[in-house]
Amino acid sequence: MKSSITSLIALGVTLSATAQWANAECPCERNPQSNYQMPPLPAGPDRMTAAPSPGTLGRTYYLPSRDIPASKHPRIAMIDIIVPDATSVRVVNMYVHREEDDVDGYEDTRLNGLWRFETLPLLPGIPHIYKVIFRFSDDPTAPETVRYVRLIPGRIIELTY
């Protein structure tokens, strides 16, 4: 009998505290600071924003892509890079715990300037960001051009330089 009375008292205290909490006012409603305004953001070069990286980051899923061939593993990704006049193109995996550094690829001789690359099967849940490095000269001191691209498992992305 004592335990049932004790449990009823505990239940009443709990319900009473819950009802008081539900009816409580927010302190911001009691004392609004209507004259407070956010300071304006600086305009122009003083603004602290990062410029978007060159390539397709942030736009990959909006760009046209096509399915990989049915004979391929369903989680591989492929990229077709169209860059006329390039002497070499490399695709490098940017993920820290990567399985491969450079993605295997070749220059397709049927179309001038088309390079095709194919990844290993991509692991779900990690970012698939790759760096594409273009060289336009065989000179080892020649500058390189870099673009960043996000690859999609099961899709062929096209990057035009």
β-strand 144-150 against 78-82: which pairing, if any? unpaired
Give me the DSSP letters along 84-119: TT-SEEEEEE--TT-S-SBPEEEEETTSTTEEEEEP
pLDDT digits (tens, 9 = 90+) for 69-90: 999 999 999 999 999 888 999 9
Instruction: Determine the Cα–Cα distance for residues 87 and 90; give it in Å rounded to an integer.
Output: 10
Residue in the block written with tokens 């760009």: 63
When pLDDT is averaged across residues 22-39 and rounded to a whole number, the result is 53
| Res 29 pLDDT > 90 | no
Which carries the bigger pLDDT value, residue 135 or residue 31? 135
Q: pLDDT at position 70, please?
A: 94
Tokens of 125: 């849940």
pLDDT digits (tens, 9 = 90+) for 92-106: 988 877 777 889 999
Tokens of 76: 């591989």
Of the listed ranges 21-25, 63-67, 115-119, 125-129, the one predicted with least confidence:
21-25
Kindly report the backbone phi and psi dihedral angles of residue 18, in degrees, each rounded to the nearest multiple of 5, phi listed first.
-65, -40
Q: pLDDT at position 13, please?
A: 54
DSSP SS3 for 134 = strand
Instruction: Determine the Cα–Cα distance for residues 105 and 156; give it in Å rounded to an integer.
Output: 13
Q: pLDDT at position 61, please?
A: 80
Is residue 58 within 8 Å of 136, Cβ to Cβ?
no
66: CB partners within 8 A, 6+ apart: 155, 156
Answer CATH for 75-160 from 1.10.3470, 2.60.40, 3.30.2250, 3.40.50: 2.60.40
Instruction: Determine the Cα–Cα distance for residues 88 and 96; give it in Å rounded to an integer.
Output: 24
β-strand 155-160 against 78-82: which pairing, if any? parallel
User: Is the pTM value of this prediction over 0.75?
Assistant: no
| Res 68 pLDDT > 90 | yes
Confidence band of 52 (pLDDT split at 50, 70, 90): low
DSSP state of 45: G
